Amino acid sequence: VGRAGVHCLTLETGFPLGSVNVYLVEGDPLTLVDCGPRGIVTRRSLESGLGAIGRSLDEVELLLLTHQHVDHHGMAHDLIDEFGIEVACLDSLAWYLERWPETCAADMTHRAARIRRHGMPAAFVTAFEAQLDRRIGEAAAIDVGRRLREGDIVDLGQTQLRVLHRPGHSPSDTVFWADDGAFAFVGDHLLLRISANPLMALGIPWESRFRPLLEYRRSLAKTKETALGMCFTGHGPTVVDHVELVSKRVAEQDERSGLIEAAFQREPGRTAWDVAHEVFGAKAHQVPILCLSEVVAHIERLEEENRLVRSGSEVVRFAPA
């Protein structure tokens, strides 16, 4: 990429999610933004990417993390262990990563309870719960040297990055914005080719209730008002016009909310899973958690706007307000 000494390294993962972008920022300290998932394929890909620009892992001094999803931070423990790299991230993300695997397990348990309550068939819930050990192994607890807050500046010598908390895709989404307005690292907050899912998750720290779509829309409104410049994303191409992209994403969300509201108007008293099935078809069986998360996120918005009401306790059902 080259701008202001920023290099984009697109890492292979060997997983269905495809590739993930991490960034090396030339400066003092030499800084990596995200590090990719844990695994030999990604590790080799990171090493060769750095090698291609004349750098190596033992030169990296600081690791900035954009959010709590393992495809962005899973390798962190191994890098810290081997190279003594310092980690800086949002304080809530630090709280989450320092308590791994309890946080991972709590998040999974929370999701399992909610997908069951939203009508997902027992076989899917059981399959989800069976992933726990594998999920835990995708990362390990790390010590975070620098805990960041909204508005903080990360000084990288020639570049100063401002910390912006933009929850939605996950509770800990963080944008690192160069203070000359030329560019920003946006993680999965903005992606060019796909809309980032508002995923079901526990708010961190645990006491808060996280409603992803509502949070995401608040965050997108802020992002639209911020002159971010080039947006370096966690997956796929750089976003050049984030204002246009935010408008497009918000319009897509409005359309989907309308679709989900209409589904409950046609046939009231159904569960979120019933409607996920109707809206996503076969995809609801391939990626059930993603599809159900999205429907539930829209339902939370529709309830907030007094367009839907819920009934039931063990299994919840919805109808027009």
Residues that bind Zn ion (CB under 5 A): 69, 188
Please spell the DSSP secondary structure of 98-163, one letter per residue: HTTTHHHHHHHHHHHHHHHHTT--HHHHHHHHTTHHHHHTT------SEEE-TT-EEE-SS-EEEE
Task: Please identify, using beta-carbon distances, which residue of 91 and 188 lies nearer to Zn ion.
Answer: 188
Task: Please identify, using beta-carbon distances, which residue of 116 and 166 lies nearer to Zn ion.
Answer: 166
Asked if 268 contacts 177 with a C-beta cutoff of 8 angstroms, the reply is no
Q: How far is the CB of 264 from Zn ion (least distance, A)?
A: 28
Which residue of this chain has its Cβ atom nearest to Zn ion in the complex?
Answer: 69
Q: How far is the CB of 66 from Zn ion (least distance, A)?
A: 8
Query: How many residues make up the chain in this entry?
Result: 321
Q: What is the dihedral of CA 216, 219, 225, 229, to 10 degrees?
A: -90
Q: How far is the CB of 15 from Zn ion (least distance, A)?
A: 13
Task: Please identify, using beta-carbon distances, which residue of 68 and 271 lies nearer to Zn ion.
Answer: 68
Task: Please identify, using beta-carbon distances, which residue of 156 and 186 lies nearer to Zn ion.
Answer: 186
Q: Report the amino acid identity of residue 167.
A: P
Q: How far is the CB of 72 from Zn ion (least distance, A)?
A: 6
Asked if 20 contacts 71 with a C-beta cutoff of 8 angstroms, the reply is yes
Question: SS3 letters for 162-187?
Answer: EEEECCCCCCCCEEEEECCCCEEEEE
Q: How far is the CB of 234 from Zn ion (least distance, A)?
A: 6
Task: Please identify, using beta-carbon distances, which residue of 97 and 275 lies nearer to Zn ion.
Answer: 97
